[in-house]
Amino acid sequence: MQIKSNKLDGKWITFVLQNNNNMEVHILNFGGIITKILVPDKHGNFENVVLGYKNYQDYKTDSSNFFGAIIGRVAGRIKKAYFELDGNKYELEPNDGANHLHSGSNGFHRVLWDAVPFETATEIGVKLFYISKDGENGYPGNVCVTVTYMLNNNNQLIIDYSATTDKATPFTLTNHTYFNLSGNLKNLIQHHFVTVNSPYYLELNNELTPTGEILNTQNTTFDFIQGRTLNEGINSDFKQNKVVGNGYDHYFLFDKNQIGKIKIIEESSGRILNIETNHPGMVMYTANNLEKGIELDNGPSRKYLGICFETQGPPASLHHETLPTIVLHKDEIYNKQTIYSFGIQL
């Protein structure tokens, strides 16, 4: 296993993690962005299975796609760009219509993180550190954040998230990587076969914020317990698929008695991705709003070119108390983990 680092303009650094199987993960200290993941297909061909810009300078101006980035303090949409906490009302930046998306235009995806590479007997990785000051982007409390990327020889990429605060604050992190297991963006993601242990999802309104209604996935295009292709939801006339622009951009609640589990199979390449997390749910986003013609590393962007599995808590809990809370209190430790395991179906 080895770690390489390449200095870019100014203080930007790319870290390349490579295990003994030649799997590679490329990470920027800017935004904690995963720019590439190279894994083999069933024929042994190593290809990139995530979306990233061809020119790294474009990450500086990315205000809507969030390719591969750490999202925080709060991942997802906060309705009407405000929340109330401990008797105080906090106004946030409305950067998605009237709503607040992914912590605003200067969230953690725009942070130049302090980065320390490391190696142990079983893994290599990079630890990223940042202190988010009280009042930053409208949020209360000084928050000390650590995000750790780790790669091992089981072809697992592990992301550990930890944080503490000196004042109660909403806090839920995610990584916004777009996956495409066909490799080098050869195909769209409609035929990815996805399984999720989620019996419920959150209903969305026309502004893509949850209404507070928790809907059963059973007998709908949102039922992924036995697995289905994404194409079924993308081409569905079901109102909840249509409201997001034909596809998915919804929060799925995992079975509360189990850890969150997601499995993705791409038949043409034979690639499999298993995801496990201790987050209570995740947003599955099928790139319904991805603009056409952005210059990516393996070709131009287009709708449905990638899929995000944004493991996180539900920001809608700030307005709907029936959902799992995302408030981090003083003297609590935020400790979440998501594991991405890559394999082959022969």
Longest dimension (CA), the chain: 59
The active-site residue, picked from 102, 109, 176, 192, is 176
Q: Which two tokens stand for residue 259?
A: 């850890």
Instruction: Give me the phi and psi of 80, to 5 degrees please.
Output: 60, 15
The residue with tokens 């539900």 is: 314
Q: Which residues pair with 161 in a beta bridge?
A: 147, 336
Q: Give the distance from CA 140 to its chain's centroid.
A: 23
The active-site residue, picked from 24, 47, 276, 310, is 310
Distance CA 214, CA 323 (A): 9
Q: Ramachandran region of residue 76, left (φ > 0), alpha (ψ -120 to 50) or beta?
A: left
What is the 3-state secondary structure of 252-316?
A: EECCCCCCEEEEEEECCCCEEEEEEECCCEEEEECCCCCCCCCEECCEECCCCCCEEEEEECCHH
Distance CA 14, CA 160 (A): 19
Q: Would you say 86 and 139 are in contact if contact means Cβ atoms under 8 Å apart?
A: no
Helix/strand/coil for 32: coil
Q: Would you say 256 and 271 are in contact if contact means Cβ atoms under 8 Å apart?
A: no
Q: Which two tokens stand for residue 125?
A: 């990785």
Helix/strand/coil for 315: helix
* 310 a catalytic residue: yes
Distance CA 39, CA 14 (A): 18
Show which residues are catalytic.
Answer: 176, 310
